Amino acid sequence: MKIRTETGSDITEIEKLTYRAFENHPHHVPGTKPTEHLIINKLRAESALTLSLVMEDEAEIVGHIAFSPVNINGKFVNWYGLGPVSVMPEHQSKGIGGALILDGLAQLKALGAEGVVLLGEPEYYGRFGFKAQPTLTLDGVPAEYFLALSLKSDIPSGEVTYHPAFFEV
């Protein structure tokens, strides 16, 4: 398996993979259709997809991860949001998501990123160093599920806002 940056020819496959990965997701309202693939497309269309990586085996793309800029207190301070991260259902629990997260974090650090935030399961993301931070908040989200990881500096304080693509689908 190989991790690489997405190319234009990957877009349709990323859409299908992301849709399948989030279909019937336990955190979605039962019966709702996934929108994560639409978020990625909107981020891409608005040049707000800072890093988009795929993992492929010899036959297909089996995983994808996206990182986009976030604002803290209304300003971009070189922090990014991780997500969505998607793995084909038949390939889940094989370390693909973790490999994408580690590779993505390393690439962001090399780009000079200060840190990364995400909305997710503390138990899973804690293994990568993400923790709830009382100084960072995301409106309407329980603090224990809004996690941060500093890559270079101290954890800032303030209200985090994601790109509008996360709310327009």
Instruction: Give the model's confidence band at 31: pLDDT under 50 very low, under 70 low, under 90 confident, else very high.
Output: confident
**Looking at the domain covering 2-166, what would its CATH class be?**
alpha beta
Tokens of 31: 């019966």
Contacts for 19 with CB less than 8 Å, ≥ 6 apart: 34, 36, 37
Alpha helices in 23-65 (DSSP H): 36-45
Instruction: Give the model's confidence band at 168: pLDDT under 50 very low, under 70 low, under 90 confident, else very high.
Output: confident
Contact 118, 93 (CB under 8 A): no
- Other C-beta atoms closer than 10 Å to the C-beta of 48 total 16
Question: Which of these ranges, 25-29, 66-70, 90-94, 117-121, has the smallest mean pLDDT?
Answer: 25-29
Instruction: Give the model's confidence band at 28: pLDDT under 50 very low, under 70 low, under 90 confident, else very high.
Output: low
pLDDT in tens, 69-96: 999 999 999 999 999 999 999 999 999 9
Contact 64, 86 (CB under 8 A): yes
Contact 139, 112 (CB under 8 A): no
Q: How many residues does the chain have?
A: 169
Q: Write down the pLDDT at residue 26.
A: 62
Tokens of 121: 């399961």
Instruction: Give the model's confidence band at 30: pLDDT under 50 very low, under 70 low, under 90 confident, else very high.
Output: confident
Q: Write down the pLDDT at residue 59.
A: 86
Q: At what angle do helices 11-22 and 36-45 cross, to 10 degrees?
A: 150
Residue entry with tokens 């990182």: 67
Percent of the chain residues topping a pLDDT of 90:
87
Q: What's the CA gap between 43 and 69, in Å, rounded?
A: 10
- Other C-beta atoms closer than 10 Å to the C-beta of 137 total 15
Q: Indicate the DSSP class of residue 151.
A: S
Question: Which of these ranges, 3-12, 16-25, 50-59, 139-148, has the smallest mean pLDDT?
Answer: 16-25
Answer whether residue 52 shows pLDDT above 90.
yes
Q: Indicate the DSSP class of residue 92.
A: T
